[in-house]
Amino acid sequence: MAFPETRLRRLRYNKVLRNMVTETHLRVEDLVYPLFVCPGSGVKNPISSMPGNYQMSVDVLVEECKLAVSKGVKSVLLFGIPESKDEHGHVACQSDGIVQKAIRAIKSEVDDIMIVADVCNCEYTTHGHCGTIIDNDVDNDSTLKTLADQSVSLAEAGADIIAPSDMMDGRVLRIREALDLAGYEKIPIMSYAAKYASGFYGPFREAAESAPQFGDRSTYQMNPANSDEAMREIASDIEEGADIVMVKPALSYLDIIYRTKNEFEMPTAAYNVSGEFSMVKAAGEKDWIDEKRVMMEVLLSIKRAGADIIITYHALDAADILNGTK
Ligand code: PBG
């Protein structure tokens, strides 16, 4: 036998064959598009650190949702920028809250769309932390109440999936109980199960106006150094009733996505967060990388690692490429 015995390159010459032996396929159905809703009408404020993303009033948001659905992106994740904030985040639990209004408007004007509602207090509290502050600490157990109230209120407005992103212990169980009690036992919970204290959230905090006013989130979000601990977080969320588990961020945490899918065999979501998006955009603008190519490579790698669902600000651009329209 001539050397080398194995010629892996044989499978790479013919484009048809190359496509045939492709192992991972990214689909528009995999993508969730995050959006920021703010008060007013006709508002479309550019978010400077996230080119192509905006704070949108409800009317503008509805049009964006129609555009997304027309491209096959039928799932959106909503974040609210409220008119006013308070100590505990009660503004997020009102039936006329900004996200509740947005959900009602989208549901009445856009067909065939699925709305994921992010549940957290940081956009709604004056101090920007994800829960109620007691003795300079985000108090776990009293925060569970506002999270459960917020969840029920979002379900009442018509949210299809509830996605808690706060990282309090026990919140999935409390939210599940509250949803069931209110008659929403059919609404799934997608928990941000392994959410790291990450520098990659920087641009989001401009977008959602949710930066903590003191300290940081390292007493509730995870240490980027830890992987076993992520498995414990995920196991406890599943035990408490999570239907889908999420890893966040995605790109620096592909190993965590891989472990999650392998160890739990659960529907797994990954959040390709704001900083990951903005790095690609910035380098693309400078012509340092081929932006579209890198975008698709990033999304594909997240899928290959094991994510079934990818939350990404690239959703519409990626859809254009997947649909062959750009
Ligand atoms: C709210 C929340 C954050 C993100 C999603 N939900 C910010 C944070 O935890 O500080 C970040 C998303 C992104 O960066 O795109 N808790």
Question: How much distance in Å is there from the Cα of 86 to the middle of ligand 1?
Answer: 19
Tell whether ligand 1 has an atom less than 6 A from the beta carbon of residue 273.
yes
Q: Are 272 and 299 in contact (CB under 8 A)?
A: yes
Q: Return the axis-axis angle of helices 274-285 and 291-305, rounded to nearest 10°.
A: 150
Tell me, yes or no, whether 223 lies in a domain: yes
Output the pLDDT for position 226: 98
* ipTM associated with this complex: 0.96
| 93: pLDDT strictly greater than 90 | yes
| pTM of the full structure | 0.96
Q: Are 275 and 200 in contact (CB under 8 A)?
A: yes
Tell me, yes or no, whether 84 lies in a domain: yes
pLDDT in tens, 247-270: 999 999 999 999 999 999 999 999
- Give the Å distances, CA to CA, from 48 to 36, 52, 141, 146, 281: 14, 9, 36, 31, 11
Tell me, yes or no, whether 18 lies in a domain: no
Number of compact structural domains in the chain? 1
Q: Domain range spanning residue 109? A: 26-322
Output the pLDDT for position 154: 98
Bridge-partner residues for 36, per DSSP?
55, 79
Output the pLDDT for position 2: 85
pLDDT in tens, 140-197: 999 999 999 999 999 999 999 999 999 999 999 999 999 999 999 999 999 999 999 9
CA 69 to chain centre: 18
Tell me, yes or no, whether 265 lies in a domain: yes
Q: Are 122 and 210 in contact (CB under 8 A)?
A: yes
Pairing mode, if any, of strands 309-312 and 268-272?
Answer: parallel
Tell me, yes or no, whether 70 lies in a domain: yes
Going by alpha carbons, the residue nearest to atom 6 of ligand 1 is 165
- Give the Å distances, CA to CA, from 146 to 23, 39, 126, 266, 300: 44, 22, 15, 27, 37
Catalytic residues: 195, 248
Which residues, at least 6 apart from 262, have a Cβ–Cβ distance to it below 8 Å?
306
- Give the Å distances, CA to CA, from 150 to 55, 93, 285: 21, 4, 39
pLDDT in tens, 271-309: 999 999 999 999 999 999 999 999 999 999 999 999 999
Tell whether ligand 1 has an atom less than 6 A from the beta carbon of residue 194.
no
Mutate to test the pocket of ligand 1, among 50, 55, 77, 120 (most ligand atoms within 8 A of CB): 120
Output the pLDDT for position 1: 72
- For residue 313, the domain's CATH number is 3.20.20.70
